[in-house]
Amino acid sequence: MYVIIIGAGRTGSTVIDLATQDDHEVVVIERDTELAEEVSATYDCMVINADGASKDILLEAGIEEADALISTTESDSVNLMITMFGKQYGVETLVSSINDPAHMELFEDLGVTIVESPHRLNGQYLYRAVQHPAIRDFMPIAGDAEIFEATVDEDAPIGGLSLIDADREDLLPEETIIVAIVRDDDLIIPEGETEIRAGDVVTIFARDGATNQITDAFTTS
């Protein structure tokens, strides 16, 4: 796959690392000379030290042949302009980070896959860690719905119960589904008789998000 990556900051450098590891043909556009030189010395990819919002530079990078265009700058206006060029030249996959959620609709109208600002996401994770320490990871879906992971504590109310028993005891709200269990590095797809044990890492879907009722079931009082 031929991938053009705009920006080699914290987010962009991670994308560059992953894309080059997977042996994709990668072109990086970075306006900061020091960052551009660092990427050129570190990764097996073409690096252009220039402004990625320039149509001429994008043509030089091969936008007409690109399979994917990933824009990771800290400016939504720059990211939007870059993805508009991508749309114009028929790039199949357009991905952009977004710093202000108010701009989301503009990107969606172009058919751009959006990734929220890493700083905003980090803030969400930090808040979740304070609000619900049992949560290891989470992903918002739509509205209040979330998928998240939690570790079952010793003596947690749900420990030692099957999913059927947990339902009978009303430990979890309606429209809450335990999607998967990881136990001793083994993946278990749970069914009604599956028992929840201390130390299990469970993946949970909750339509109303990670409420206290849910997290309390997996933690020791």
**Residues 21-37 pLDDT 10s:** 989 999 999 999 999 99
Q: What is the mean pLDDT of residues 207-221?
A: 83
Distance between CA atoms of residues 113 and 70, nearest Å: 9
Check if the beta carbon of residue 96 is closer than 8 Å to that of residue 31: no
Which of 9-23, 36-50, 98-112, 129-143 shows the highest mean pLDDT? Answer: 36-50
∠56-32-75 over CA atoms, to 5°? 75
Q: What is the mean pLDDT of residues 141-145?
A: 78
Q: For residue 195, give the DSSP letter.
A: B
Which of 39-53, 86-100, 121-135 shows the highest mean pLDDT? Answer: 39-53
Q: What pLDDT, on a 0 to 100 scale, did the predictor assign at position 221?
A: 64
Q: What pLDDT, on a 0 to 100 scale, did the predictor assign at position 182?
A: 93
Q: What is the mean pLDDT of residues 79-101?
A: 89
Q: What mean pLDDT, rounded, does the chain reach?
A: 86
Which of the four pLDDT bands, split at 50, 70 and 90, describes residue 124? Answer: low
Q: Where in the sequence of the chain do the CATH 3.30.70.1450 domains occur?
A: 123-218
Distance between CA atoms of residues 96 and 72, nearest Å: 6
Cα dihedral value 142, 5, 74, 12, nearest 10: 80
Distance between CA atoms of residues 206 and 119, nearest Å: 25
Which of the four pLDDT bands, split at 50, 70 and 90, describes residue 136? Answer: low
> Which CATH architecture group holds 123-218?
2-Layer Sandwich (3.30)
43 φ, ψ (degrees, to nearest 5): -120, 150
Which are the contacts of 191, defined by CB distance < 8 A and separation ≥ 6? 163
User: What is the fold of 2-116?
Assistant: Rossmann fold (3.40.50)
Which are the contacts of 127, defined by CB distance < 8 A and separation ≥ 6? none
Instruction: List the one residue out of 15, 136, 132 whose CA is nearest residue 73.
Output: 15
Q: Is the pLDDT of residue 82 over 70?
A: yes
Distance between CA atoms of residues 4 and 115, nearest Å: 17
- Of the two residues 129 and 77, the one the predictor is more confident about is 77
Q: What is the mean pLDDT of residues 42-47?
A: 96
Output Rg (C-alpha) for the chain, integer angstroms: 22
Neighbour tally for 80: CB within 10 Å: 18
Distance between CA atoms of residues 79 and 29, nearest Å: 13
Q: Where in the sequence of the chain do the CATH 3.40.50.720 domains occur?
A: 2-116
pTM assigned to the model? 0.61
Q: What pLDDT, on a 0 to 100 scale, did the predictor assign at position 116?
A: 63
Q: For residue 102, give the DSSP letter.
A: G
Neighbour tally for 68: CB within 10 Å: 19
- What percent of the chain is predicted at pLDDT more than 90? 44
Alpha helices in 67-149 (DSSP H): 76-88, 104-109, 118-131
Q: Is the pLDDT of residue 77 over 60?
A: yes
Q: How many helices (H) and strands (E) does the chain have?
A: 8, 11
pLDDT tens readout for residues 199-213: 899 998 988 888 888
DSSP assignment string, 153-184: PTT-TTTT-BHHHHHHTT-S-TTEEEEEEEET
